[in-house]
Amino acid sequence: MTRVLFVCTGNVHRSVLAERLLAARLPSGSAVRPESAGTEAWRRPGMESSTRAVLEKLGGDGSGFAARPLTAQLVEGAALVLGLAIEHREAAVRLAPSAMRRCFTLKEFVRLAMGGVNEAQGGEGTATAHDGVPDKERPRVVAGLDVVVAAAATRRGVAPPLPPAEDDVADPWGKPDSVLYGCACEIDGAVSTLALLLGGRASV
């Protein structure tokens, strides 16, 4: 089993949505296991009701969830660690410095990985989960996740930098449900593209 770990602050909204939406987009029997944790979370069973509502609206499964704090062991055991903001990526690296090349923000990793596919396919335009391109015509990575992660880490050193906020998903904590739903849709777009790289399907 190949673990992909999503990290946010409370393990209440953003990382939960990323974990369960990626699970919904991956093919049945996938070896990828999405998980999540929070830098300021504490262990508690159940998913927050508003998170579950928007998750299920987008086709995810809210059952069996339990929040948990981020630990060095979780970071070290993951093939890929994806923070929902730069602060979460940095927190993971502080806990396990040796995992630095496997730690990205979600949006950063998708951008770098898709850029690598674009280059490998001779500069063709990249596709996102909502651009109307049929799945069979989308770029895919056929190598293992470790190869994709290594390529993204290499591109991180040469790709043009973006303003830091561009790689963050804003925290919807305490905001209206409409903001949470917008956050969920943003995350869904990113994890749907990630799932395509891993052989999954786009959101519908």
pLDDT tens for each residue of 174-194: 999 999 999 999 999 999 999
CA distances from 150 to 46, 125, 186 (A): 35, 22, 25
Q: What does the pLDDT look like over 75-130, one tens digit per residue?
A: 999 999 999 999 999 999 999 999 999 999 999 999 999 886 656 555 444 344 44
Three-state secondary structure call for residue 158? coil
User: Does 85 reside within a domain?
Assistant: yes
pLDDT at 200 over 70: no
Q: Evaluate whether residue 180 is within a structural domain.
A: yes
**Count of domains observed in the chain:** 1
Specify if 203 maps to a domain: no
Give SS3 for 44. strand
Q: At what angle do helices 177-197 and 49-57 cross, to 10 degrees?
A: 50
Look at residue 141 and tell me if it is in a domain.
yes
Q: Is residue 47 part of a domain?
A: yes
- Residue 18 lies inside a defined structural domain of this protein: yes
Residue 115 lies in a domain: yes
CATH code of the domain in which 138 resides: 3.40.50.2300
CB-based contact 7:83 (threshold 8 Å): yes
Residue 77 belongs to domain spanning = 2-197
**Assigned domain for 204 exists:** no
Q: What is the pTM of this model?
A: 0.88
